[in-house]
Structure 1
Amino acid sequence: MREIVECIDSGTEFCPCKLAEAGECIICSQLQGGCFCDCLNWKGVCIYHEYINNGSKAKEGRKTYGCLVKETEIFEKDLILIKFEVPHKLAIDLSKAGSFIFIRPNEDNIYFDVPISIMEANIDTNVVAIMIEVRGIKTKNLLDIKSGDKITIRGPYWNGVFGLNNLSVQKDNNVLVLARGIGMAPMIPLIRKLYQSNNDISLILDTSPYKDYYVKDYLKNYNVNLMQELLLDKGDLSDEAKVKIKAIINEKDIKYIHLSGADILTVKLIEFLNELDRKDIKLSCCNNIKMCCGEGICGSCTARFSGHRVKRFCKVQIDPRKVFEGRRFI
Structure 2
Amino acid sequence: MKETVDCIDSGTEFCPCHLAESNECILCSQLQGSCFCDCLNWNGVCIYHEFINNGSKAKEGRKTYNCLVEKKVLYQSDVLLIKFKVPHKLAIDLVKPGSFIFIRTNENIYFDVPISILESNIETNIVTIMIEIRGIKTKKLLDIKEGGEITIRGPYWNGVFGLKNLDKQINKNVLVIARGIGMAPMMPVIRKLSLNNNNVNLILDKAPYSDNYVKEFLAEYDLNIIEESVLDKGELTDEVKVIIKSYIKEKNVGYIHIAGADILTVKMIEYLNSIGGEDIKLSCCNNIKMCCGEGVCAHCTRLRNISILFQQCVYFFLDSL
If the TM-score is normalised by the length of the shorter chain, which range does it land in?
A: over 0.9
Deviation (angstroms), 1:35: 1.8
Secondary structure at the aligned position of 1:10 is classed as coil
Secondary structure at the aligned position of 1:58 is classed as coil
Paired residue type of 1:321: V
Deviation (angstroms), 1:323: 7.7
Alignment of 1:199-218 (within 5 A): 199-218=198-217
Unmatched 5+ stretches in structure 2? none
Deviation (angstroms), 1:324: 9.0
**Distance between the aligned counterparts of 2:172 and 2:312, measured in 1?**
19
When residues 2 and 132 of structure 1 are mapped into structure 2, their CA distance, relative to the original with a 3 A threshold, is closer
**Distance between the aligned counterparts of 2:217 and 2:142, measured in 1?**
23
**Distance between the aligned counterparts of 1:297 and 1:266, measured in 2?**
28
Paired residue type of 2:201: S
Tell me the residue number matched to 2:253. Answer: 254
Tell me the residue number matched to 2:55. Answer: 55
Q: Percent identity?
A: 68
The 8 Å contact of residues 91 and 125 in structure 2, kept in 1 or not, is answered as yes
Can you list the C-alpha shifts for 1:249-306, whole angstroms capped at 9, x where unaligned?
111100100000011111111111111111111000000015442224356635447x
Tell me the residue number matched to 1:96. Answer: 96
Secondary structure at the aligned position of 2:210 is classed as coil
Secondary structure at the aligned position of 1:159 is classed as coil
Secondary structure at the aligned position of 2:153 is classed as strand
The 8 Å contact of residues 113 and 292 in structure 1, kept in 2 or not, is answered as no
Tell me the residue number matched to 2:193. Answer: 194
Q: Cα RMSD over matched residues?
A: 2.1
Farther off after superposition, 227-236 or 166-175:
227-236
Paired residue type of 1:163: G
The 8 Å contact of residues 178 and 204 in structure 1, kept in 2 or not, is answered as yes
1:5 equivalenced with 2:18 (yes/no):
no
**Distance between the aligned counterparts of 2:317 and 2:142, measured in 1?**
34
Paired residue type of 1:18: H
**Distance between the aligned counterparts of 2:164 and 2:133, measured in 1?**
31
Paired residue type of 1:322: Y
**Distance between the aligned counterparts of 1:239 and 1:193, measured in 2?**
30
Alignment of 1:37-76 (within 5 A): 37-76=37-76
Paired residue type of 1:145: I
**Distance between the aligned counterparts of 1:17 and 1:320, measured in 2?**
29
When residues 9 and 288 of structure 1 are mapped into structure 2, their CA distance, relative to the original with a 3 A threshold, is same
When residues 319 and 80 of structure 1 are mapped into structure 2, their CA distance, relative to the original with a 3 A threshold, is farther
**Distance between the aligned counterparts of 1:287 and 1:92, measured in 2?**
21
Can you list the C-alpha shifts for 1:229-248, whole angstroms capped at 9, x where unaligned?
11111111111111111111
Deviation (angstroms), 1:28: 0.3
Tell me the residue number matched to 1:279. Answer: 278
The 8 Å contact of residues 68 and 84 in structure 1, kept in 2 or not, is answered as yes
The 8 Å contact of residues 281 and 317 in structure 2, kept in 1 or not, is answered as no
Tell me the residue number matched to 1:16. Answer: 16
The 8 Å contact of residues 163 and 319 in structure 1, kept in 2 or not, is answered as no
Tell me the residue number matched to 1:314. Answer: none
Paired residue type of 1:217: E
Alignment of 1:24-35 (within 5 A): 24-35=24-35
Secondary structure at the aligned position of 1:72 is classed as strand
**Distance between the aligned counterparts of 2:297 and 2:8, measured in 1?**
17
**Distance between the aligned counterparts of 2:205 and 2:188, measured in 1?**
18
When residues 27 and 71 of structure 1 are mapped into structure 2, their CA distance, relative to the original with a 3 A threshold, is same
When residues 319 and 145 of structure 1 are mapped into structure 2, their CA distance, relative to the original with a 3 A threshold, is farther
The 8 Å contact of residues 28 and 47 in structure 2, kept in 1 or not, is answered as yes
Paired residue type of 1:201: V
Tell me the residue number matched to 1:321. Answer: 314
Deviation (angstroms), 1:109: 2.5
Can you list the C-alpha shifts for 1:145-168, whole angstroms capped at 9, x where unaligned?
110111110000000000000000
Secondary structure at the aligned position of 1:6 is classed as coil
Farther off after superposition, 15-24 or 162-171:
15-24
**Distance between the aligned counterparts of 1:319 and 1:10, measured in 2?**
24
The 8 Å contact of residues 178 and 204 in structure 2, kept in 1 or not, is answered as yes
Tell me the TM-score normalized by structure 2. Answer: 0.93
Unmatched 5+ stretches in structure 1? 312-317, 326-330
Paired residue type of 1:12: T
Tell me the residue number matched to 2:122. Answer: 123
**Distance between the aligned counterparts of 2:316 and 2:127, measured in 1?**
29
**Distance between the aligned counterparts of 1:5 and 1:111, measured in 2?**
27
Tell me the residue number matched to 1:170. Answer: 169
Tell me the residue number matched to 2:109. Answer: 110
Tell me the TM-score normalized by structure 1. Answer: 0.90
Deviation (angstroms), 1:108: 3.2
When residues 296 and 208 of structure 1 are mapped into structure 2, their CA distance, relative to the original with a 3 A threshold, is farther
